């Protein structure tokens, strides 16, 4: 599944090609792609304009403007598409996108042949490039939903429970450290650090690949109990998470699956820079010890036995 860097790459592409354009039509070719807006998506999108392209963790959304909201272009509008400082801000709506396992948001010429797994097609009033949602496995979806304006940063209601991600300005490092050390999966069982990193109510956007890479950089074994981490070590881990994600962004993300592409259909190449993930029995880039693979939550966890020794107090 695409993680934060891959979704951010898509967001940046959409920001270039979609913001400020008005939707002329929305064609739904598979009901599962809009299962929560079945039958209503075309009417809820037609005539509305994308004010911006936002992201939290692995979710994307486009705040939508109605024609009456656009009086002098998009300058001076906030993330809701309302004039900044214009008194009371009314709640708006947004088009949410989750890519699932194989979803692709592609910006293509209207004359481009229809893709085999095209699920939703958006056309625009300017007659320019279309936005197409292609999804082979149909685990992804699009949804129009209200924005929650009560939060420090307006986000769509269906994802308001998801924690901020480490690249957001509103992410609070101190609050994260406090909640992390208190984390438990159930009394008296302690929580391993990797399990906590994958908890979207604590920190969003971190998946299996980047958790392993960040833990390697911070020299932490995935089973280290969160309550044993010092403030300094948590700060090192957060720095490693941000560092690995920034590097992945520079390289267009990680493309183990050929279905992950940016809005132009191009794959990223950060997989060539991975230190441990998927590198079982290959030498650790830091010390040369063969990388180990261990089972973890029906997945795999990769680490260096020397740089990341398993803690003695880890539960089995």
pTM of the model: 0.84
- The answer to whether position 127 is within a domain reads yes
Residue pLDDT, tens place only, 186-207: 544 579 999 999 999 999 999 8
Tell whether 224 is in a known binding site: no
Judge if the upstream peptide bond of residue 188 is cis by omega within 30 degrees of 0: yes
> Would you call 3 a catalytic residue per the annotation?
yes
What integer best gives the mean pLDDT of the chain?
Answer: 85
Q: What is the pLDDT of residue 154?
A: 87
Residues 236 and 142 in one domain: no
Residues 214 and 123 in one domain: no
pLDDT for res 151: 64
Asked if the structure places residue 164 within a domain, the reply is no
Q: What is the rounded CA–CA span in Å between residue 91 and residue 79?
A: 11
* Residue 123, domain CATH: 3.20.190.10
Residue 168, in any domain of the structure: no
207 and 154 housed in the same domain = no
Domain closes at, from 98, 130, 159: 159
Residue that wins the pLDDT comparison between 90 and 311: 311
Looking at 129, 159, 189, which one is the last position of a domain?
A: 159
The catalytic residue among 110, 299, 306, 309 is: 299
Give the E-state strand segments of 125-198 in sequence order: 130-135, 141-148, 155-156, 184-186, 189-190
* Residue 117, annotated as binding a ligand: yes
**Would residue 119 count as lying in a domain?**
yes
Among residues 11, 44, 58, 217, the one annotated as catalytic is: 58
At which of 109, 137, 159 does a domain end? 159
- Give the residue numbers spanning the domain of 136: 4-159
Name the β-bridge partners of 118. Answer: 134
Whole-number Cα distances in Å, 299 to 209, 224, 226, 295, 296? 11, 17, 20, 6, 5
Neighbours of 286 (CB within 10 A): 14
42 labelled catalytic:
no
State whether 18 and 104 are in the same domain. Answer: yes
Catalytic residue among 3, 93, 115, 213: 3
Within a domain: 271: yes
pLDDT at 85: 38
φ and ψ at residue 17, rounded to 5 degrees: -105, -15
Beta bridge partners of 146: 93
- 189 in a labelled binding site: yes
2 is catalytic: yes
- What's the rounded mean pLDDT across residues 254-277? 60
Same domain? For 152 and 28 the reply is yes
* Whether residues 212 and 241 fall in one domain: yes
Same domain, 9 and 153: yes
Within a domain: 236: yes
- When divided into structural domains, the chain yields a total of 2
pLDDT number for residue 273: 75
Q: Are residues 14 and 125 in the same domain?
A: yes
Residue 8 is a catalytic residue? no
Same domain, 147 and 241: no
Q: How confident is the model at residue 9 (pLDDT cuts 50, 70, 90)?
A: confident
Residue 166 predicted with pLDDT over 90: yes
Say yes or no to pLDDT of 109 above 50.
Answer: yes
Q: Which residue has the higher pLDDT, 75 or 256?
A: 75
- Given a cut of 80, whether residue 73 has pLDDT beyond it is no
Domain co-membership, 27 together with 68: yes
pLDDT of residue 79 exceeding 70:
no
Asked whether residue 299 is assigned to any structural domain, the reply reads yes
**Low-confidence winner among 50-54, 108-112, 253-257 (lowest mean pLDDT):** 253-257
Do 129 and 268 belong to one domain?
no
Say if residue 66's pLDDT is above 60.
Answer: yes
Q: Among the listed ranges 21-35, 245-259, 286-300, which one has the minimum average pLDDT value?
A: 245-259
């Amino acid at each position: 599944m695409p993680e934060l860097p891959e979704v951010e790459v898509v967001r940046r592409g959409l920001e270039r090609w979609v913001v400020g354009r008005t939707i002329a039509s929305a064609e739904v070719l598979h009901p599962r792609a809009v299962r929560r807006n079945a039958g209503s998506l075309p009417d809820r999108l037609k005539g509305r304009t994308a004010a911006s392209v936002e992201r939290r963790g692995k979710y994307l959304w486009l705040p939508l403007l109605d024609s009456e909201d656009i009086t002098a272009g998009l300058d001076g509008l906030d993330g809701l598409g309302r004039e900044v400082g214009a008194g009371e801000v009314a709640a708006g709506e947004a088009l949410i996108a989750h890519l699932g396992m194989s979803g692709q948001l592609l910006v293509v010429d209207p004359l481009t042949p229809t893709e085999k797994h095209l699920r939703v097609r958006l056309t625009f009033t300017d007659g320019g490039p279309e936005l197409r949602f292609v999804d082979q496995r149909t685990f992804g979806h699009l949804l129009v939903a209200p924005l929650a304006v009560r939060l420090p940063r307006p986000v769509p209601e269906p994802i308001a429970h998801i924690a901020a991600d480490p690249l957001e300005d509103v992410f609070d490092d101190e609050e994260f450290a406090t909640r992390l050390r208190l984390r438990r999966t159930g009394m008296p069982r302690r929580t391993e650090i990797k399990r906590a990193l994958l908890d979207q109510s604590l920190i969003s956007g971190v998946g299996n690949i980047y958790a392993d890479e960040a833990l390697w950089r911070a020299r932490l074994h995935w089973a280290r109990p969160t309550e044993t981490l010092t403030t300094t070590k948590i700060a090192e881990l957060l720095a490693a998470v941000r560092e690995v994600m920034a590097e992945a962004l520079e390289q267009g993300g990680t493309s183990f699956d050929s279905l992950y592409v940016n809005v132009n259909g191009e794959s990223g190449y950060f997989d060539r820079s991975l230190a441990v993930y998927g590198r079982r029995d290959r030498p650790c880039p830091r010390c040369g010890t063969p990388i180990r693979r261990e089972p973890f939550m029906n997945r795999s966890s990769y680490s260096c036995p020397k740089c990341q020794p398993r803690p003695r107090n880890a539960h089995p």
